[in-house]
Amino acid sequence: MPTPPFWHPSLSRTQAFLACARGLFVGLGISSASWAKPVTIDSTHYHLWTTAPGSRSSEALHTAEILHRSWKQWTGALPDSLPHKHQLRLFASRAEMRKALPGLGWAEALYHQGICDQYDDPSAELPWHWLVHEATHQLAWEDSHLPLPRWANEGLACLFSVSRIRKNRLILGSVERETYPTWWLVQKPLSGKMERDLRVGLLVSPSRILSESDDIDIAASLNSHYLSWWSMAHFFHATDSNAWRDWVLHDATKNGLIRRFGPAQTLDQRWYKHVLELRDSVVGR
Ligand SMILES: [Zn+2]
Determine the Cα–Cα distance for residues 270 and 90; give it in Å rounded to an integer: 40
Q: Which residues, 6 or more positions from 214, have their beta carbon under 8 angstroms from its beta carbon?
A: 5, 6, 149, 150
Question: Is the pTM here over 0.75, yes or no?
Answer: yes
Determine the Cα–Cα distance for residues 145 and 65; give it in Å rounded to an integer: 19
Same domain, 67 and 113: yes
Task: Count up the domains in the chain and report the number.
Answer: 2
Report if residue 210 sits inside a domain. yes
Same domain, 67 and 36: yes
The pLDDT profile of the chain, 285 residues, written as one tens digit per residue, is 333 434 444 444 333 222 223 333 334 455 555 567 899 999 999 999 999 999 999 999 999 999 999 999 999 987 776 678 999 999 999 999 999 988 887 678 999 989 999 999 999 999 999 999 999 999 999 999 999 999 999 999 999 999 999 999 999 999 999 999 999 998 888 999 999 999 999 999 999 999 999 999 998 898 999 999 999 999 999 999 999 999 999 999 999 999 999 999 999 999 999 999 999 999 876
Same domain, 133 and 45: yes
Same domain, 172 and 104: no
Same domain, 67 and 190: no
Report if residue 156 sits inside a domain. no
Same domain, 194 and 271: yes
Report if residue 155 sits inside a domain. no
Report if residue 243 sits inside a domain. yes
Environment class of 257 (CB within 10 Å of its CB; exposed 0-12, middle 13-18, buried 19+):
buried
| Host domain of residue 20 | 1-145
Same domain, 176 and 211: yes
Report if residue 63 sits inside a domain. yes
Q: How far is the CA of 131 from the centre of ligand 1 (A)?
A: 10
Q: How far is the CA of 10 from the centre of ligand 1 (A)?
A: 6
Q: How far is the CA of 29 from the centre of ligand 1 (A)?
A: 20
Given a contact cutoff of 8 angstroms between Cβ atoms, the answer to whether 139 and 80 are in contact is no
